Amino acid sequence: MARLILLLGDQLSAGIAALAEADPADDVVLMAEVAEEAGYVPHHKKKLAFVFAAMRHFAEELRAAGWQLRYTRLDDPENSGSLVGEIARARAALDVEEILCTEPGVWRLRQALAAVPGLTLLPDNRFLIDPAGFRAWAQGRHQLRMEYFYRDMRRRTRLLMDGDQPAGGEWNYDHDNRGTPPHGTTPPPLPAFEPDAITHEVLRLVEQRFPDNFGDLQPFTLAVTRADAEAARDHFLAHALPRFGDYQDAMRRGEPVLFHAHLALYMNIGLLDPLDLCRRAEAEWRAGRVPINSAEGFIRQILGWREYVRGIYWLHMPHYADANALEAHRPLPDFYWTAETDMACMRDAVEQTRAHAYAHHIQRLMVTGNFALLAGIDPYLVHVWYMAVYADAYEWVEMPNTIGMALFADGGIMGSKPYAASGAYIDRMSDYCTDCRYRVKLKAGPDACPFNYLYWDFIARHRDRFARNQRMGPIVRNLDRMSDDRKAEIRADSARFLDALVPAGSRWGG
């Protein structure tokens, strides 16, 4: 009897576990565009178009390779609206007993699918360590330091290793990742892919069904096939990777990508293989075409951070989603959706997020994330925003980055201290402050950079907790040395600024 192979929208890999187990002659692949997945957060229009266009192109490739396919479109009148509903419809139509699916990347769906009779979930073979392997690594460790995990992953995969030693002599070249590009440096433009007829149909569907969702749908130039994603990969390796290491932490007005890869969206949906990408980056270094700080820095992000955050997600779900260690309850400000703020750094980050469904890591962490941390915004609302606005956002990777890394809401599972920074950090790493209504050098008063007083207000609000944290101790002592008048001034500036924020309301999950 035929089996049903359920393939999710971010499982577009020819070698994925469920397809590898299946037989094209007998089994039927089920793919479905459903309202539940399109609506559980208010996804950016570009993200919706990217997922549906990539799904439809992948379905065509499977058909061409001889697979029998059952594909439900979003506008199919019979569409049940959910993946579980689509399994039920397929079952009724096809007389199948057994269903195979590769494990989804979100707890909610895993629970729903695990409850479907006859459905077997297979481990996702696109990752380099599975949740059980991560659990074993974490067992008995007092702190789950990414650096030690990363070194173990280097040994396990043999990436950037010379015998049992790290290639180049050091495990980590982070100290060489903090430059800012000299004035006049031109980053390579991203390759742009012309939408074909399939993508145009999806663009029309998204405009029609999701007219009020956040984000610009046009111009749409993302890759939606494996071949185009590979072209984007090769472009990155040749043109941006050589300077990725030097300028990894830099930010520039009007330059959303700089020397970053812009490849997470393709890896996360299954069009690019992470291990293959790391091997190619290593080969560029071994061939002498890129420096070690670039190759190592890039590989660390994928082999280290990407695998590590997934491990944290599965280790701590479902409780992780509700974590709020700093008891932050402020609503999300409206400018996260509208970009209407005088803070030039926040405005640029939100504007380019709206245009491209992309912002690079330091903007996510040190601008929008840092602001949410300092202002005490409810972590769950911040999580919904990040899930919605980035084309690469899937819960297994977004949630630990938001709740753990950016907001310290997990109380220190992901990091030993919060990534909190005043305006000086943003000024050092960007050119935003020269074009801002606020003055980054001012500490107090209506013209002072809000990050400056919000930083100290944040430290003061959590003084007792941070006093117990070894790495925060010196900062708490600086606060304690301030006069009462100075502390009162920080409180007053912060209250004035925070009280004036307009909450987002409920339109987009705010």
Rule CB under 6 A: which residues touch ligand FAD?
260-264, 267-268, 298, 301-302, 305-306, 309, 360-361, 364-365, 369, 386, 390, 392-393, 397-398, 401-402, 405-406
Establish if 426 lies at the interface with ligand SF4 (CB under 6 A).
yes
Helix (H, G, I), strand (E, B) or coil at 441: coil
Helix (H, G, I), strand (E, B) or coil at 68: strand
Query: In the bound complex, what is the minimum distance in angstroms from residue 318's beta carbon to ligand DLZ?
Result: 15
Exposure letters 34-43 (e unless 16+ CB within 10 A, then b): bebbbebbbb
Cα-flanking dihedrals φ and ψ of residue 162, to 5°?
Answer: -115, 100
For residue 57, the partner it binds in ligand SF4, ligand DLZ, ligand FAD, none, with Cβ less than 5 to 8 A by kind, is none
Q: What is the dihedral of CA 145, 148, 153, 158, to 10 degrees?
A: 160
CA distance 19 to 17: 6
For residue 51, the partner it binds in ligand FAD, ligand SF4, ligand DLZ, none, with Cβ less than 5 to 8 A by kind, is ligand DLZ
For residue 43, the partner it binds in ligand DLZ, ligand SF4, ligand FAD, none, with Cβ less than 5 to 8 A by kind, is ligand DLZ
Query: In the bound complex, what is the minimum distance in angstroms from residue 109's beta carbon to ligand DLZ?
Result: 5
Cβ neighbours, 10 Å, residue 361: 16
Q: Which listed residue (4, 302, 323, 433) binds ligand SF4 by CB under 6 A?
A: 433
For residue 317, the partner it binds in ligand FAD, ligand SF4, ligand DLZ, none, with Cβ less than 5 to 8 A by kind, is none
Q: Which lies closer to ligand DLZ via its Cβ, residue 30 or residue 241?
A: 30
Establish if 12 lies at the interface with ligand SF4 (CB under 6 A).
no
For residue 438, the partner it binds in ligand SF4, ligand DLZ, ligand FAD, none, with Cβ less than 5 to 8 A by kind, is ligand SF4
Query: In the bound complex, what is the minimum distance in angstroms from residue 440's beta carbon to ligand SF4?
Result: 4
Query: In the bound complex, what is the minimum distance in angstroms from residue 83's beta carbon to ligand DLZ?
Result: 6
Candidates 326, 373, 317; CA nearest to 135 is: 317
Interface size with ligand SF4, residues (CB under 6 A) = 14
Candidates 308, 328, 320; CA nearest to 143 is: 308
* CA-to-CA separations, 480 to 87, 91, 256, in angstroms, rounded: 60, 66, 39
Strands 165-166 and 161-162: antiparallel
Which residues have CB under 8 Å from 271's CB, separation 6+? 12, 13, 54, 223, 225, 226, 229
Stretch binding ligand DLZ (CB under 6 A), from 33-41, 312-320, 411-419, 496-504: 33-41
Helix (H, G, I), strand (E, B) or coil at 492: helix
Q: Which listed residue (41, 153, 436, 459) binds ligand SF4 by CB under 6 A?
A: 436
Interface map 45-64 toward ligand DLZ (x if CB under 6 A): ---x--x-------------
* Residue the block writes with tokens 């220190």: 412
CA torsion through residues 499, 500, 505, 510, sign = negative
Residues in the chain: 510
Q: Which lies closer to ligand SF4 via its Cβ, residue 240 or residue 345?
A: 345
Q: Which listed residue (404, 423, 509, 510) binds ligand SF4 by CB under 6 A?
A: 423
Stretch binding ligand DLZ (CB under 6 A), from 5-13, 372-380, 452-460, 463-471: 5-13
Interface map 323-362 toward ligand SF4 (x if CB under 6 A): --------------------xxx-----------------
Exposure letters 460-479 (e unless 16+ CB within 10 A, then b): bbbeeebeeeeebeebbeeb
For residue 37, the partner it binds in ligand DLZ, ligand FAD, ligand SF4, none, with Cβ less than 5 to 8 A by kind, is ligand DLZ
Stretch binding ligand DLZ (CB under 6 A), from 6-14, 92-100, 282-290, 411-419: 6-14
Helix (H, G, I), strand (E, B) or coil at 442: coil
- If you compute the radius of gyration of the chain from its CA atoms, what whole number of angstroms results? 23
Interface map 21-50 toward ligand SF4 (x if CB under 6 A): ------------------------------
Cα atoms in the 13 Å half-sphere on the side-chain side of 265: 26
Q: Which lies closer to ligand FAD via its Cβ, residue 284 or residue 392?
A: 392
CA distance 387 to 41: 7
Q: Which listed residue (149, 336, 451, 466) binds ligand SF4 by CB under 6 A?
A: 451
- For the record, the structure tokens of 490 come out as 């920080």
Cα-flanking dihedrals φ and ψ of residue 374, to 5°?
Answer: -65, -40
- For the record, the structure tokens of 286 come out as 């071994």
Q: Which lies closer to ligand FAD via its Cβ, residue 356 or residue 443?
A: 356
Residues paired with residue 252 on neighbouring β-strands, in sequence order: 255
Contacts with ligand SF4 by CB under 6 A lie at 343-345, 423, 426-427, 432-433, 436, 438, 440, 449-451
